[in-house]
Structure 1
């Protein structure tokens, strides 16, 4: 699922920031998600919050992705191919 579909279906607040050599996505899961986990498997970001799992597909042009979640806000930093 891409970020637009994810935010529409789940009602999450999300932002996407475009830079010259990278893209940053931020998704606010709310304060209940403070004990969430996040991982990148192949081209998919997987977020687990309690018994729920969410997946965000990464664009094909991404060479490297860094993820972290703090205070219920997921941040995905994507480095584009050069």
Structure 2
């Protein structure tokens, strides 16, 4: 699964984007310890992540699940 460019640019806003490849593939974005109240919403093919700021990106092709836990956003196939 490819990391969308707009999600790669999130690291300008203090997040760390890491891509882990396993059997299904996953994208993991760590927004840092101050982002425990991170919220995620999906509208059509757009993922909207809100905290102090809002980040929007297109849902990657093949993504089946988007979760958030303790400031970490995970997108899996």
For residue 57 of structure 1, report the CA deviation from its aligned partner. 1.6
Match in the other structure for 2:9: 5
What is the 5 A alignment of 1:40-55?
40-50=42-52, 52-55=53-56
Match in the other structure for 2:20: 17
Gap runs ≥5 in structure 2: none
Consecutive aligned runs of 4 or more in structure 1 exceeding 3 Å deviation: none
Q: What TM-score do you get using the length of structure 2 for normalisation? A: 0.72
> Size of the alignment, in residue pairs?
73
Q: CA RMSD in A?
A: 2.0
SS at match of 2:29: strand
SS at match of 1:39: strand
Whole-angstrom CA distance in 2 between matches of 1:34 and 1:15? 18
Q: What TM-score do you get using the length of structure 1 for normalisation? A: 0.69
Gap runs ≥5 in structure 1: none
Say which structure is richer in strand: 1
